[in-house]
Structure 1
Amino acid sequence: MNLANALATSYQLYFITDVLRVAHPEQVLLLLTMVYLGWTLVSVYVCGVLSDRLGRRRAFVACGAIGQALGCAVVAIAPGMGTALAATSLFGVGVGAYLAVDQAIITAVLPAAENRARDLGIMNIGLFGPQTLGPLLAGLVIGALGGYQVLFALAGVTSLVSGLLIYRVSSVR
């Protein structure tokens, strides 16, 4: 999920400038960032409450992955200002659903109390590694493999794969 999010969001200003070609791309970026943040906050809260009440975690990761993938599909198929707003909303809802349960899943599957610091350190590699490598990979995809549509398609597929992989974690419902 973190890699898909990094792929989908790290080159937004360039996407706005190169594809949407609006007069003030930095203002559009600010708007999209605020929309993303707003939907993420709403989704984190709602999904966190629902996850605790239902005692379920994996479904929220899967739904978040689908939401993020739908956002990628929308903007890859029909890039425009309206679709960018819709896609950003879907990104925010998807990431929020994921973030609502991410830490709960991680702490539930830690194998031994004496190794928690090490295990959480490894988890942080999974969090920050994709955020570091995502922009590099995105730049390569945009420059050498077909541009923004390919980038958003790759981000969508990456998101869907992450949603499927959560079901390999059998100790969490």
Structure 2
Amino acid sequence: MQSYKDKTELIEEIRKRYSLYDQEFESIKEDEKELLKPGVDKTPSQNISYQIGWTSLLLQWETDEKEGIDVKTPTPDYKWNNLKGLYESFYDQFSSYSLHQQREILQNQVSEIIEWIEKLDDKTLFVPEQRKWATTPAKWPVWKWIHINTVAPFKNFRTQLRRWKKETDTE
């Protein structure tokens, strides 16, 4: 997994990967947002709904812990062994929005994540077990949770969107 020397490097990578990911939606028409293509496991709307869902959870975990709420990851309603159900809940929750609205929601959440990172001290960001919600047997520091819910899927899902668009071009 990629690592970062400091919070500035993490923020720059989030901005870069988010920007590239978001640009993929510019050529997708609104009436295509629910089209599923061969070789791609998500529609464009599902793709961005997944991103919105995970970034929402990341921000919610932090907010809840700061408010003294006992955080159940990934959610009180879904366990780690039922992620498919969680993903379906993301699709249901965000599919009624237009692609433009979904992009705005994700843009706002990415901005909020960056603001949050800027306020964190290096110990909280880079040393394991600084947040209860981030304390797992793997002992990941907060930056890894941020990475796997922003940078990593922005890269992977950008590839899926490009494959989806290629399938569209060949029809």
Q: What's the TM-score, normalizing by structure 2?
A: 0.34
Q: Greater helix share, 1 or 2?
A: 1
Q: Which has the bigger relative contact order, CA under 8 A and spacing at least 6?
A: 1
